A = this chain, B = another copy of it.
Amino acid sequence: MSSPAATETLPAATPAAAHIFTTVLSHGPLTRLEVARRAGLSAAAVTKAVRPLIESGYLVEEADTGAGAHTEVRPALGRPATLVRVDGGRALFIGVKLTGDEIIGVLTDLCCRILLARRVPLAGRDPEAVLATAADLVRELLTEADGYGVRVAGLGIAVAGDVDRAEGVVRYSPFLEWRDVPLAGLAAAVTGLPVTVDNDVRALTVAEQWFGAGVGLSDFAVVTVGAGIGCGLVVHGRVVAGAHGVAGEIGHVTVDPNGPPCHCGNRGCVEAIAADAAILARIRETGGTEVAGTAEAVDRARHGDTDAREAYARAGEAIGRGIATVANLLGPARVIISGEGLAAYDLFAEQIREAFTAAAFGSAAQCDVRTRPLPFEEWARGAAATAIQCFITAPN
């Protein structure tokens, strides 16, 4: 996180207050008692922290109509309990995902609900060209935001590759061919917004942790399949970033040392077998026929083409082994499979499951492996989630 802009953050004076706000954000609406229980704090601490957040409009109170998700603690008969929830409309955020071909942008509220989504093609990949296109997109979204009469409080940018979030620098982006681009500072200068830059899979993992299938779990993994095979890890309640910036490289778990060459220099990595391009290459190789793209490959496989079916089956087996490796090393409670590649999930779901079960060690097989469809704007929503995270937890 880095920004020359005047940053406004939440009136949460302490880490405990930020924790309370996050608890309401992820689990609300909740009674104060439920907030205290879930946050592991005293009722007095919750009351103290909640007051300024209500006064500033970030939290609102409402009567418990019995329709909420807070089923664990029922109010006693008589006077209905008061629930606390986040007013999502109190602040807006912009999330931007950069790919090698296009930029996807979303405007979200404080609860990370998407209000608008836009995608624009990239004219060039050098930082100046990308930044100019991104700035135009952000300005467009800022104009739209004016219609809501609410301030945009932060911009999150997600990029595949080696990203140093603390410094706001893209160390290496293979798709954009960038090295050491100080993106947070550059974007803050042109947009005037506080900017958070993070790796795209880690950003998606933050969105799952705070607003998705990871809510309430201290240990889980997100595995994305598609153009690349990525992985975001949450251990002890925090996203793993790696001491040297690399973490979650499930794509480079070796499945077969004699397998196809990988761009990393090794052979038989999960990515060299299960990424979209690897599946196409396999179909061309075994079938001796051309295949234009992923849509055609999926279509052929669904119509019974043996080579296409085998390529997807092999991909599924590689992904299942990669997931088992994560489970054997970290023992996550859940693995969430997502990504554009899920569109072909029917072609390799069974192989993922079988390979995972065979390679999971002992009780690691109890890990809850599930899928979650990922609309194209979800990557940008992940970027917005990192901006919301910074807005809440940044030092005041």
A-B pairs with beta carbons under 8 Å apart, 7 shown: A231-B329, A236-B238, A243-B333, A244-B367, A245-B331, A250-B328, A253-B328
Question: Given the complex, which residues of B lie within 8 Å of A326, measured CB to CB?
Answer: 329
Question: Given the complex, which residues of B lie within 8 Å of A171, measured CB to CB?
Answer: 363
| A267 to B171 Cα, complex, angstroms | 38
Q: Beta-carbon contacts of A242-271 to B below 8 Å, as 1s and 0s? A: 111111111011111100000011100000
A344 on the B face (CB < 8 A): no
A364 on the B face (CB < 8 A): yes
Q: For residue A232, give the distance in angstroms from its CB to the closest CB of chain B.
A: 11
| Size of the chain A interface, CB-CB below 8 angstroms | 48
Once the chains bind, are B325 and A329 in contact (CB under 8 Å)? yes
Q: Which of B253, B332, B362 contacts A243 (CB 8 A)?
A: B332
Q: For residue A7, give the distance in angstroms from its CB to the closest CB of chain B.
A: 23
Q: Which residue of chain B is the closest to A239 with respect to CB atoms? A: B236
A276 on the B face (CB < 8 A): no
A330 on the B face (CB < 8 A): yes
| A248 to B364 Cα, complex, angstroms | 11
A36 on the B face (CB < 8 A): no
Question: Given the complex, which residues of B lie within 8 Å of A247, measured CB to CB?
Answer: 329-331
Once the chains bind, are A242 and B364 in contact (CB under 8 Å)? yes
Q: Which of B235, B266, B367 contacts A236 (CB 8 A)?
A: B235
